[in-house]
């Protein structure tokens, strides 16, 4: 059994140069919302879900981005309702939210 059932990493990178980065697109708010939803549901911790900050995941053109393991599913999102859907369907239900999946060719 893996230590966490699911692990989601949010890119929170910002660039002082002003170059495009996920932090300019609501990444921190999305991370905070996800973390509080998981905590409120009693799903954080060993054997459950871990919500982590990450630096640049090198897929900036699709930002803001997050990735869930073990499924290796990459997401992009706009607002808290998108995060709610990722939490409810994927982190809790194990079902991929197809409409928010980052296209495979999106890079930096």
Question: Under a CB-based contact definition with an 8 Å cutoff, are residues 97 and 8 in contact?
Answer: no
Reading the block at residue 105, the tokens are 């060719």
Q: Which of 29, 58, 71, 79 binds ligand FES (CB under 6 A)?
A: 58
Q: Which of 63, 82, 83, 100 binds ligand FES (CB under 6 A)?
A: 63
Kindly give, in sequence order, each residue whose CB lies less than 8 Å from that of residue 105, ignoring residues fewer than 6 positions away.
none
Q: Does residue 57 touch ligand FES according to CB under 6 A?
A: yes
CB of 82 to ligand FES, least distance (A): 16
By CB under 6 A, name the binding residues for ligand FES. Answer: 11, 13, 21-22, 56-60, 63, 65
């Amino acid at each position: 059994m893996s230590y966490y059932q699911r692990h989601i990493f949010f890119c929170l990178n910002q660039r002082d140069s002003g170059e495009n980065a996920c932090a300019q697109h609501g990444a921190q708010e999305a991370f905070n919302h996800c973390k509080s939803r998981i905590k409120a549901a009693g799903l954080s911790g060993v054997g459950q879900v871990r919500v982590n900050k990450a630096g640049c995941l090198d897929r900036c053109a699709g930002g803001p981005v997050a990735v869930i393991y073990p499924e290796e599913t990459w997401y992009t999102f706009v607002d808290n309702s998108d995060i709610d859907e990722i939490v409810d369907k994927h982190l809790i239900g194990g079902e991929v939210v197809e409409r928010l999946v980052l296209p495979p060719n999106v890079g930096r």
